[in-house]
Amino acid sequence: MELFEGEKLSKPGKERVIDPAPNMAGGTAPLAYRMCPRSLDEFVGQGHILGEGRLLRRAIEADRVSSIIFYGPPGTGKTALARVIAERTKAHFERLNAATAGLAELRKIIASARERRLRASASSSPERTILFLDEIHRFNKLQQDALLPDVEEGNITLIAATVENPFFYVNSALLSRSQVFELKPLTGEDLREILRRAVSDRERGLGLLDLEVQDEAVEHLARVSEGDARRALTALEVACLTTPPDEKGLIVITRQAAEESIQKKAVLYDREGDGHYDTISAFIKSMRGSDPDAAIYYLAKMLYAGEDPRFIARRIVICASEDVGEADPMALVLAVSALRAVEFVGMPEARIPLAQAVIYIANAPKSNACYLAIEAAMKDVEEEPTLPVPDHLRDANYPGAKKLGRGEGYKYPHDYPGGTAPCDIGGKVEQEYLTKKKKYYKP
């Protein structure tokens, strides 16, 4: 789980003392803050990077952490890992949040890091400076560039955290100097363990309360929290603080209390990052793969998360033409109609014509012949010498055109028996339409 804004990471002797977390009776810090792990042994989840023998665990235990970018959804442990590193390392530790920090503050920390390194240069192991930069995706290019020289020279070791895909939001130069560790949503078992600890912990959790949390309540919170420990703990705390004790003074948290304490879930769907691109990709591939159930699910997910229905409708139009095409031309007609219906009707009713178009396209026969044809033709136009228009096809409707031979010898298909019939049954009039024989459309 992650820490809240304003936390001060520090250590005794280096003006970095972390105050003991207040308990329920003596403080107001949120439960999710108080239960933040203090060591790797207390850390729950992320076994793929923190399991025994894993690279990141070995680096933290040996105090040999290099520049790192932690990437993952909220409440999965990015900031908590920074706190664990801060507690364990012998390096000087600084913390900034990119949402509130400016370039001047960043440069001040870097200048101090340089001075610290110079003062210790005579020592066999100069003091290192670790800078934890939360929400690095909020730094612009200039601010990120300011980090580069000192990361490269070793004046600072950067530990950054972001909920956005760093390959979209972090400069490639910084990425090349850092290891990227992706944190996954916590499993149901992880969340159940975190909740149980919070209930029983008498120092930081709810253990001082006369409390009984039913298994069904824990199960519900673990299931609907979407892998977010902060969300689960916050809901548990709300339930405990708002449920009156019974006649024996016991606070009983039932499933109903848990349901009332957790808000409508926030679907992991960022409008400009992974959630957006991954979901729309799965949506289109489900229609292309003729799975209407999967396609409808992804449609519902996007609408629930607040995606622009016009964007969805435009992607349906493209899929109708690219993946269905001539196998069922009505797919494009229906898709365009759905787009117009979205603009005319609006949400929430627009979900119905969208669903109709999605199901039709998913069930339609598929052909990408039109897509392949235009792609091949565009490639030839771009890479090969441009083919001239044959003289007999050129415009002959201006004075002097005939003197230049424009239109001479053109065969008007309507003058020939069957000349306008489909080409695949012999309707094509024999004349040259391209100066070089090409085959793009392959039904």
* CA 263 vs CA 58, 231, 259: distances in Å: 38, 9, 8
H-state helical runs in 136-251 = 141-145, 148-153, 166-169, 172-176, 188-200, 215-224, 229-242
State the residue range of the domain holding 284. 274-363
269 falls in which pLDDT band (50, 70, 90)?
low
Domain end call among 261, 291, 321: 261
pLDDT on residue 125: 56
pLDDT on residue 424: 58
pLDDT on residue 422: 67
Residues 49 and 126 in one domain: yes
The Cα–Cα gap between 270 and 137 comes to: 13
Higher pLDDT, 422 or 379: 379
Over 80: is that where the pLDDT of 420 sits? no
Whether 12 is covered by a domain: the verdict is no
Over 50: is that where the pLDDT of 13 sits? no
Amino acid at 118: L
Domain end call among 219, 235, 261: 261
Over 70: is that where the pLDDT of 227 sits? yes
122 falls in which pLDDT band (50, 70, 90)?
low
- 282-286, 305-309, 326-330: least confident range: 305-309
Residues 300 and 237 in one domain: no
Residues 318 and 195 in one domain: no
Residues 166 and 47 in one domain: yes
Over 60: is that where the pLDDT of 5 sits? no
142 falls in which pLDDT band (50, 70, 90)?
confident
Residues 168 and 225 in one domain: no
Residues 49 and 178 in one domain: yes
The Cα–Cα gap between 28 and 22 comes to: 7
pLDDT on residue 231: 92
Say which residues have a Cβ less than 8 Å from residue 64's Cβ, sequence separation at least 6. Answer: 58
Nearest CA-CA partner of 97 in 68, 140, 139: 139
Q: Which CATH number do you get for residue 140?
A: 3.40.50.300
Whether 10 is covered by a domain: the verdict is no
Over 50: is that where the pLDDT of 110 sits? yes
* CA 243 vs CA 59, 216, 239, 240, 257: distances in Å: 44, 16, 6, 6, 7
Over 60: is that where the pLDDT of 107 sits? yes
pLDDT on residue 119: 77
Residues 321 and 305 in one domain: yes
Average pLDDT, integer, range 405-432: 74
- 102-116, 225-239, 270-284: least confident range: 270-284
Q: Phi and psi (nearest 5°) for 131? A: -110, 115
Instruction: Sort strands 179-182 and 211-213 into parallel, antiparallel or unpaired.
Output: unpaired
- Classify 160 as helix, strand or coil: strand
pLDDT on residue 438: 87
The Cα–Cα gap between 58 and 40 comes to: 11
Whether 32 is covered by a domain: the verdict is no
Residue position matching structure tokens 């109609």 = 337
Residue position matching structure tokens 């960043």 = 106
Over 80: is that where the pLDDT of 2 sits? no
Residues 81 and 204 in one domain: no
Q: Which CATH number do you get for residue 305?
A: 1.20.272.10
Residues 231 and 337 in one domain: no
Whether 92 is covered by a domain: the verdict is yes
7 falls in which pLDDT band (50, 70, 90)?
very low
- 131-135, 298-302, 386-390: least confident range: 386-390
Whether 439 is covered by a domain: the verdict is no
Over 70: is that where the pLDDT of 270 sits? no
pLDDT on residue 87: 86
The Cα–Cα gap between 357 and 365 comes to: 14
pLDDT on residue 28: 73
Domain end call among 148, 182, 216: 182
Percent of the chain with pLDDT over 90: 50
pLDDT on residue 399: 81
pLDDT on residue 328: 96
Percent of the chain with pLDDT over 70: 87
Mean pLDDT comparison of 17-31, 147-161, 315-329, 372-386, highest-scoring range = 315-329
Q: How many domains does the chain have?
A: 4
Over 90: is that where the pLDDT of 215 sits? yes
pLDDT on residue 165: 87
Residues 86 and 207 in one domain: no
Whether 156 is covered by a domain: the verdict is yes
- 99-108, 217-226, 339-348, 403-412: least confident range: 403-412
Q: For residue 91, what is the DSSP state?
A: S
Higher pLDDT, 402 or 244: 244
Whether 170 is covered by a domain: the verdict is yes
Residue position matching structure tokens 């530990």 = 159
Higher pLDDT, 144 or 426: 144
11 falls in which pLDDT band (50, 70, 90)?
very low
Residues 281 and 160 in one domain: no
pLDDT on residue 440: 87
Residues 141 and 109 in one domain: yes
Nearest CA-CA partner of 240 in 3, 42, 35: 35
Q: Which two tokens stand for residue 199?
A: 């209930």
Whether 350 is covered by a domain: the verdict is yes
